[in-house]
């Protein structure tokens, strides 16, 4: 090793020792009588002082140093002069007086300084990702990711899970998103698909007798991107045989408690709270509610039938819902202009027809331009139903159930952030269970799987597959952290006849099922045990544990929202000879432009 210590290692007890440090020049200051260098590596910073005792040759060489030069310095550890110690720095008591300087590599002037407090725009950071990854904050995130994955692997190893790698090149199967396809050079016209998840392979591993499987798996989905979604991502994938939902949830409860304590220093009370899908939609308007604060949705549909206010009355009589939230103490925070802005927000972004409001005044009276349409007694019932107190702001949406959910969930989330209703450092963990088996596809008006086609219904709901699929509930469960889905799983169908019945409801006839999933159907016919599992989104766990807003910050080399890699300029064109070998011809009019 060239170095004897890292740049974050030296303390007062090292004073007088001869050491060699290596790293990057973070900053330099020439004070005439001495040159001060902050030397940085991923462990920290150490101040290097080139004074007269370093010799003229070393001082002259040191004056050529610039930011991001890679250097090695050998010298003696000394105490910083009185009054110059830096308590904010772990190495702030000491400095190194070098006797030798070696410039290992020079650097061009970087487009941004990794140690600067002000961040450049994200595109510039992604283009020069190797510089961005030098930032202490980014390195801390990568180390957090390492600790989470290490903790997950250790936990499952202690519970007798077998780590099995599944193929990257597989068969294209419909799993809800577009596949990334890989053309075959040997079999022209045929394609592999990159895995959206190891779903089918892990089920086959259960059939093969590996009753506890785990894998840190790379997954790929060609779908529209957003802040918490990437075209390639990593998940902790696990599967167990001879289990039910409670077994899976109980195991993951233990994992959550361990990582929360090891990584966050937070004690988590077990079992984690559970809420059914229907309850979550009624109380919070979303299947991944943030439980760090209240502001639950309130239904006043029955009261709306008693009012002369036409919007409420017509919605209630027409089978819609009138629901609202009480924004405690916020009446003074939002003027008419502010409320108009909120109204435009729910109308434009969530297709709501409008936003009704009341401000709660002294005596719990409700003031609003629409108040004249309500009797005093009815206003009193609304105040009681919403637990209104003077200074509160009541907001209501009258529409179809789905619209009220989306609009009020968005408002609740917005108020939680704007009014600082929760401690951002607190992590809240919960489960959502008993999801619907099916949802109506808006385009085809046919049934679609809420999770995936291999999800098992609750045993008591099996008859509903034939009589009323819309009421059938799945053995499905999602782990929620601070209002974000951090993992999802199900108990799988292990009976070939039930699997074929579900395929039929999804519009997959026996011939199509055989074509797409023949290998799975064959495997199910050879003694499949009851089994189930879960996939935990590692990138999202890192984002949530680290208190970050963007999942791209949690991945070493992420893609942009247009699925491009600005550093390598992928995707890009390939040599025409490669295309000929693959039997592929690109039409000029459809060739993608380089971005």
Burial class of residue 38 in the structure, from the number of CB atoms within 10 Å of its CB (0-12 exposed, 13-18 middle, 19+ buried): buried
User: CA 475 → CA 166, 455, 479, distances in Å?
Assistant: 25, 7, 14
207 within 8 A of 198, measured Cβ to Cβ: no
Q: Which comes out higher in pLDDT, residue 272 or 31?
A: 272
Does residue 587 sit within a domain?
yes
Cα 44 to Cα 395: distance, rounded to the nearest angstrom? 50
309 and 363 co-located in one domain:
yes
* Tokens (6 digits) for 271: 């079992």
Q: Are 489 and 535 in contact (CB under 8 A)?
A: yes
Q: Is the pLDDT of residue 595 over 50?
A: no
Residue where one domain finishes, among candidates 105, 128, 152: 105
**Where residue 228 falls among pLDDT bands split at 50, 70, 90?**
low
State mean pLDDT over 574-588: 91
Residue 234 has pLDDT above 70, yes or no: yes
Q: Is 389 left (phi over 0), alpha (psi -120 to 50) or beta?
A: beta
Distance CA 63, CA 323 (A): 69
With beta carbons less than 8 A apart as the criterion, state whether 287 and 277 touch: yes
Residue 492 lies in a domain: no
152 and 224 part of one domain: yes
The pLDDT value given to residue 397: 98
pTM (two decimals)? 0.92
Asked whether residue 465 is domain-assigned, the answer is no
Q: Which candidate, 383, 387, 353, places its Cα nearest to that of 367?
A: 383
Q: 147 and 173 share a domain?
A: yes
Residue 136 to residue 43: CA distance in whole angstroms: 9
pLDDT computed for residue 440 by the predictor: 82
Q: Which domain holds residue 412?
A: 293-421
Is 70 exceeded by the pLDDT of residue 202? Answer: yes
Q: Could you read off the pLDDT of 154-165 as tens digits, one per residue? A: 999 999 999 999
Q: For the chain, state the CA radius of gyration.
A: 30
Over the stretch 397-410, which tens digit does the pLDDT of each residue have? Answer: 999 999 999 999 99
Q: Of 373, 394, 421, which residue is a domain's last?
A: 421
Residue 50 forms part of a structural domain: yes
Instruction: Indicate if the pLDDT at residue 590 is higher than 60.
Output: no
Which of 421, 438, 468 is the C-terminal boundary of a domain?
421
Residues found in the chain: 595
Q: What is the pLDDT of residue 588?
A: 73
CA dihedral sign of residues 457, 459, 460, 462: positive
| Same-domain pairing of 226 and 324 | no
* Token representation of residue 28: 């330099």
Task: Examine residue 128 and state whether it is found in any structural domain, yes or no.
Answer: yes
Residue 516 lies in a domain: no
Nearest CA to 405 among 231, 239, 283? 283
Q: What are phi and psi of 344, to 5 degrees?
A: -60, -35
What is the domain-level CATH number for residue 364?
A: 3.30.1360.30
How far apart, in whole angstroms, are the C-alpha atoms of residue 288 and residue 449? 18
In a shared domain, residues 31 and 96: yes
Whether residues 302 and 393 share a domain: the answer is yes
Question: Which residues on adjacent β-strands are paired with residue 226?
Answer: 229
Q: What is the pLDDT of residues 505-537, one digit of tens each?
A: 998 899 999 988 899 999 999 999 999 999 999
CA-based torsion, 553, 554, 560, 561: positive or negative: negative
Question: Residue 580's closest CA among 180, 185, 182?
Answer: 185
Mean pLDDT check: name the lowest of 156-170, 174-188, 304-318, 333-347: 174-188
Question: Nearest to residue 205, comparing CAs of 158, 247, 164?
Answer: 164
- The answer as to whether 538 is a domain residue is yes
In the DSSP assignment, the letter for residue 318 is T
Give mean pLDDT, residues 203-214. Answer: 97
Question: What φ, ψ does residue 455 adopt, rounded to 5°?
Answer: -75, 135
Number of domains observed in the structure of the chain: 3
User: With 90 as the cut, is the pLDDT of residue 31 above it?
Assistant: no
Residue 589 — pLDDT band, cuts 50, 70, 90? Answer: low
Do 78 and 126 share a domain, yes or no?
A: no
Measured CA to CA, the distance from residue 52 to residue 59 in angstroms comes to 8
Residue 502 falls inside a structural domain: no
CA 247 vs. chain centroid, Å, equals 25
Q: Are residues 304 and 401 in the same domain?
A: yes
Distance from C-alpha of 110 to C-alpha of 130, rounded to nearest angstrom: 11
Q: Please, what is the average pLDDT of the chain? A: 94
Assess whether pLDDT exceeds 80 at residue 441: no
CA–CA gap between residue 575 and residue 59 (Å, rounded): 51
In this structure, the answer to whether residues 19 and 97 fall within a common structural domain is: yes
Claim to verify: residue 549 and residue 572 sit in the same structural domain: yes
Average pLDDT over every residue of 321-343: 96
Work out the pLDDT band at 364, boundaries 50, 70, 90.
very high
Q: How far is C-alpha 568 from the chain's CA centre?
A: 24
Residue 141 shares a structural domain with residue 235: yes
Query: How far are the Cα atoms of 10, 104, 239, 572 from residue 37, in angstroms, in the given order?
Result: 16, 15, 52, 41
Instruction: Give residue 91's pLDDT band: very low, low, confident or very high (50, 70, 90).
Output: very high
The verdict on 77 and 131 lying in the same domain is: no
Q: What is the pLDDT of residue 342?
A: 97
The rounded percent of the chain whose pLDDT value lies above 70 is 97
Residue 251 predicted with pLDDT over 80: yes
């Amino acid at each position: 090793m060239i170095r004897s210590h890292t740049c974050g290692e030296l303390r007062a007890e090292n004073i007088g020792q001869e050491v060699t440090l290596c790293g990057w020049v973070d900053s330099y200051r020439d004070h005439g009588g001495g040159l001060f260098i902050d030397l940085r590596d991923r462990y920290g910073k150490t101040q290097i002082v080139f004074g007269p005792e370093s010799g003229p040759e070393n001082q002259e060489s040191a004056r050529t140093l610039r930011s991001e030069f890679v250097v090695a310095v050998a010298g003696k550890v000394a105490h910083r002069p009185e009054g110059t110690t830096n308590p904010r720095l772990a190495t702030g008591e000491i400095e190194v007086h070098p006797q030798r300087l070696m410039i290992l590599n020079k650097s061009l002037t970087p487009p941004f300084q990794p140690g600067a407090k002000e961040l450049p725009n994200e595109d510039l950071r992604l283009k020069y990702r190797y510089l961005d990854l030098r930032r202490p904050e980014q390195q801390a995130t990568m180390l957090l990711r390492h600790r989470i994955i290490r903790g997950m692997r250790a936990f499952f190893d202690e519970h007798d899970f077998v780590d099995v790698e599944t193929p990257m090149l597989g068969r294209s199967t419909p799993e809800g998103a577009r596949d990334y396809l890989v053309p075959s050079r040997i079999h022209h016209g045929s394609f592999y698909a990159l895995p959206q998840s190891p779903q089918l392979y892990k089920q086959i591993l259960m059939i093969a007798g590996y009753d506890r499987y785990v894998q840190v798996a790379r997954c790929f989905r060609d779908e529209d991107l957003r802040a918490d979604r990437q075209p390639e991502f990593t998940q902790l994938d696990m599967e167990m045989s001879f289990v039910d939902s409670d077994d899976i949830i109980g195991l993951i409860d233990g994992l959550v408690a361990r990582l929360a304590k090891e990584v966050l220093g937070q004690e988590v009370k077990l079992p984690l709270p559970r809420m059914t899908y229907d309850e979550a939609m009624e109380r919070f308007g979303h299947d991944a509610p943030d439980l760090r604060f209240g502001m639950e949705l309130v239904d006043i549909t029955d009261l709306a039938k008693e009012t002369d206010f036409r919007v409420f009355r017509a919605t209630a009589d027409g089978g819609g819902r009138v629901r609202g939230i009480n924004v405690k103490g916020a009446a003074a925070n939002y003027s008419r202009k502010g409320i108009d802005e909120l109204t435009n927000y729910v109308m434009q972004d969530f297709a709501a027809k409008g936003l009704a409001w009341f401000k709660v005044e002294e005596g719990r009276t409700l003031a609003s331009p629409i108040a004249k349409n309500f009797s005093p007694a009815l206003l009193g019932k609304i105040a009681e139903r919403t637990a209104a107190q003077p200074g509160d702001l009541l907001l209501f949406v009258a529409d179809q159930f789905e619209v009220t959910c989306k609009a009020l969930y968005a408002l609740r989330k917005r108020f939680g952030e704007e009014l600082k209703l929760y401690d951002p450092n607190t992590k809240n963990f919960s489960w959502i269970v008993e999801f619907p088996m099916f949802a109506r596809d808006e385009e085809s008006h046919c049934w679609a799987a809420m999770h995936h086609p291999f999800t098992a219904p609750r045993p008591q709901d099996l008859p509903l597959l034939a009589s009323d699929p819309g009421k059938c509930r799945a053995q499905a469960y999602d782990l929620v952290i601070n209002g974000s889905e951090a993992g999802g799983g199900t108990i799988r169908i292990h009976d070939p006849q039930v699997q074929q019945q579900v395929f039929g409801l999804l519009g997959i006839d026996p011939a199509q099922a055989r074509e797409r999933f023949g290998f799975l159907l064959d495997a199910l016919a050879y003694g499949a045990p009851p089994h189930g599992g879960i996939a935990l989104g590692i990138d999202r766990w890192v984002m949530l544990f680290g208190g970050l807003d963007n999942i791209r910050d949690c991945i070493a080399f992420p893609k942009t929202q247009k699925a491009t890699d600005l550093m390598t300029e992928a995707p890009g064109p390939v040599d025409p000879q490669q295309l000929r070998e693959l039997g592929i011809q690109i039409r000029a009019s459809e060739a993608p432009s380089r971005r």
